[in-house]
Structure 1
Amino acid sequence: METTLSLKEAFAQLKESEPKLRIREYAKRLNASEAELVALGVGTTAVRLRPDFVAILGELESLGYVMALSRNDEVVHERKGIYENFSTTPHASLFVGKDIDLRIFPSAWAYAFAVTEGEDKPRKSLQFFTTDGIATHKVYLESKSNMEAYDTLVAKYKDENQSSELEIGALLPLESTELPDSEIDVKSFQESWINLKDTHEFFGLLKKHKLTRTQALRLAPSETHAKKIDNKALRRALELAAKEHVSIMVFVGNAGMIQIHTGEVKNIVEHGPWINVLDPMFNLHAREDGIAQSWIVRKPTEDGIVTSLELFSEKNELVCTLFGARKPGIPELESWRKLVEQL
């Protein structure tokens, strides 16, 4: 209780002295998790929800037009639309809508809250956190969202436990520990890469050969398959995609979520260390000084070569990936390949 009170007081003081910080930054300053700070508002600004995550996800479509937000430390991905075409398996849940496109890993999720922020114009959201208290996904209501459906959902899933106390676990790693190159069967790995039939097989390839992703790129069959390039690549790719009207896919992930945008980008804006996409339906905010490695990666598939731009943090975590817009059975856009050549 003493810890909770002292954190609450410290949070209040910090908000008063620096009112414009994001809650993720407040958490870092206070050596706490974002979930712990949200939980301090239980009874006033937050309602604790039962951890029935798949059931809650299955009802998000009822909210209508909303904004979906997923992020990691380096990149924020915001996409407006309706949560459509929900499905779930023992390993993952999916939304495959034309606007909101998600790959969800609920086993990493631990907490959910309904949150009301702001006094003049209160903004309502559903916020989900992984076992380490880090935000994995947020659903923000817009002016044309179904407020009644939101209230019904919150009432239905309100937890009997409305305590501010959380049991925060260890930090969830996005990347495993790297083995020495000498312990890797490099020849077998390279042959497997060359014989790929689908981009989704790549994750299994890493697991089979006990490789981290950056190690795999470093040990690729050739520079044609993986080439390290300058860390301004994301900025250049976005600017070229906007200028040349190239439809792209932008993936941003964390331990519990991958969020995807498919379509053109138009308004590319630099603001301090951030490079931003500021379009009506899609916003991206990427902290360029947090990108430590940028790679052009090519994988063979039954539809031909698929090319991606992969961006990594200093911790070797994959924080953002760009592809040319495509669907299975359709070859990669030639305009995307030409764009990548310019990088």
Structure 2
Amino acid sequence: MTLAIEEISKSLRERYARLKDENPKARIRNLAQKMSVSEVELVAANCGDIRSTPLRGPAQDIFKELGSLGRVMALTRNEWCVHERHGRYEEIRAGKTMGIVLGPDIDLRMFFGDWKTTWAVNDGGRLSIQFFDGAGAAIHKVYVTDESDTAAYQALVEKYAEGAEPWPAVQEAAAPEDSAVTQATPALRSDWLSMKDTHEFHSLLQKHKVARLTALRAVGADLAQEVSNDLAERMLRDVAERDIPFMCFVGNRGMIQIHSGPVKKLMRMGPWFNVLEPHFNLHLDTTAIVSTWVVNKPSKDGWVTSLECFAENGDMIVQFFGARKPGVPELASWRELLVGYCPLPLAA
């Protein structure tokens, strides 16, 4: 390390230690916010019990080798929701701009445009690989567990370890582009009704130059209707009680992580409503939900219904579907549940 970097690191470690003493249960992300720095800078500075190693090369190269670690815990989060899933990285495809993981347990969609740095982190003995964006926010973390191959982890770190110890160049996150159109035209509804696959929805928004919430508000109550903001918690309690398998999508600008299956163990802790299964944890800050929608899309397999929760800035917090695969109709039990939440009929 150069002298300047060492001085910066020392200052961050001292500030972090004081703040951690005052907030012993606070996560590194929250402490970074309180310190007005990025999480990756605290990792690079080895704050607290962290001992970090920068990894060189494209994140895609490292990602393609995560399967060697065996069973791990994958973590993706945004400001308001944390998604943790145990399993193996299987069927990994990582291209220049996009990637996908299609294992039965770890199910991911990667968008590599803003992936900037990768770090191996030993936090008091807890080992992980962590991927960060240009603003220094964590995109995705892969944690070694008792079921993981620790030797394979060490081999991966040694293979990609950076010779020097560069200080991460952090830039302020770019503001999302404002959609050019604040009101949707009638053509949006006709194009919506013409969809054959739910994956066409992103292209639909791009074609009409509208934000997601603008589209939901404009398309008609039979295709999208706003419901109570307590519905995410109610829905999770209902699917647990009725044993309905569902899909839960949580993402940020670089990653979407998906759980599929039933859940049973639910627990409220302050503002956070939690799913606490051995293989799947969800931590949802329900106080951050300012808009909740039941969304109804046509497909060649029939209607597909989702529950979507949004934050004050318009970002999606979490999205839920009934568990399904392409080519298979939506679960009747899921559809019945969501239709029952709607004050007005959905198109069918």
The counterpart of 1:116, out of the listed 109, 119, 122, is 122
Give the TM-score, by structure 2 length: 0.93
Distance in 2 of aligned mates of 1:27 and 1:91: 28
Residue 295 (structure 2) aligns with: 297
1:172–1:247 CA distance, 2 compared to 1 (3 A): farther
The counterpart of 1:106, out of the listed 112, 116, 126, is 112
Residue 130 (str. 1) matches residue 155 (str. 2): no
Per-residue deviation at 1:331? 0.5
Distance in 2 of aligned mates of 1:266 and 1:171: 38
> Does the CA contact (< 8 Å) of 2:50 and 2:123 recur in 1?
no
Q: 1:260-279: CA deviations, max 9, x gaps?
A: 00000111111100000000
The counterpart of 2:40, out of the listed 35, 41, 50, is 35
Residue 234 (structure 1) aligns with: 232
1:100 is matched by which residue type in structure 2?
I
Distance in 2 of aligned mates of 1:283 and 1:129: 22
Residue 91 (structure 1) aligns with: 97
Distance in 2 of aligned mates of 1:115 and 1:199: 37
Distance in 2 of aligned mates of 1:38 and 1:127: 10
Per-residue deviation at 1:316? 0.3
1:20 is matched by which residue type in structure 2?
K
Per-residue deviation at 1:127? 0.7
Q: 1:233-280: CA deviations, max 9, x gaps?
A: 110111010000100000000011000000001111111000000001
Q: 1:282-319: CA deviations, max 9, x gaps?
A: 00000001111110000111111100011111110012
Per-residue deviation at 1:47? 0.5
Residue 197 (structure 1) aligns with: 196
Per-residue deviation at 1:58? 0.7
1:180–1:206 CA distance, 2 compared to 1 (3 A): closer
Q: Superposed, which structure 2 residues align to 1:1-16 within 5 Å?
A: 1=4, 3-16=8-21
> Does the CA contact (< 8 Å) of 1:325 and 1:333 recur in 2?
yes
> Does the CA contact (< 8 Å) of 1:172 and 1:255 recur in 2?
no
Distance in 1 of aligned mates of 2:256 and 2:83: 10
Gaps of 5+ in 1: none
1:78 is matched by which residue type in structure 2?
E
SS of the equivalent of 2:298 reads strand
Distance in 1 of aligned mates of 2:255 and 2:22: 33
Residue 160 (structure 1) aligns with: 163
Distance in 1 of aligned mates of 2:317 and 2:79: 8
Residue 285 (structure 2) aligns with: 287
Residue 48 (str. 1) matches residue 51 (str. 2): no
Gaps of 5+ in 2: 342-348
> Does the CA contact (< 8 Å) of 1:253 and 1:259 recur in 2?
yes
Give the TM-score, by structure 1 length: 0.94
> Does the CA contact (< 8 Å) of 1:176 and 1:212 recur in 2?
no
SS of the equivalent of 1:301 reads coil
Residue 209 (str. 1) matches residue 208 (str. 2): yes
Q: Superposed, which structure 2 residues align to 1:262-273 within 5 Å?
A: 262-273=260-271
1:168 is matched by which residue type in structure 2?
V
Q: Superposed, which structure 2 residues align to 1:15-34 within 5 Å?
A: 15-34=20-39
Aligned residues: 335
Q: 1:40-67: CA deviations, max 9, x gaps?
A: 0199611111142111111101000100
> Does the CA contact (< 8 Å) of 1:39 and 1:46 recur in 2?
yes
1:123–1:44 CA distance, 2 compared to 1 (3 A): closer
> Does the CA contact (< 8 Å) of 1:229 and 1:294 recur in 2?
yes
Q: 1:174-201: CA deviations, max 9, x gaps?
A: x53144535x4x1111111111111010
Distance in 2 of aligned mates of 1:342 and 1:238: 14
SS of the equivalent of 1:231 reads coil
Distance in 2 of aligned mates of 1:253 and 1:245: 25
Distance in 1 of aligned mates of 2:255 and 2:182: 30
Per-residue deviation at 1:170? 2.2
Q: 1:201-223: CA deviations, max 9, x gaps?
A: 01001011111111110111x20
Distance in 2 of aligned mates of 1:225 and 1:44: 48
The counterpart of 2:153, out of the listed 140, 150, 154, is 150
Residue 335 (structure 2) aligns with: 337
Q: 1:150-175: CA deviations, max 9, x gaps?
A: 00000000012213x221112145x5
Distance in 1 of aligned mates of 2:126 and 2:174: 29
Residue 71 (structure 1) aligns with: 77
1:106 is matched by which residue type in structure 2?
F
Q: 1:128-152: CA deviations, max 9, x gaps?
A: 1111111010001111210000000
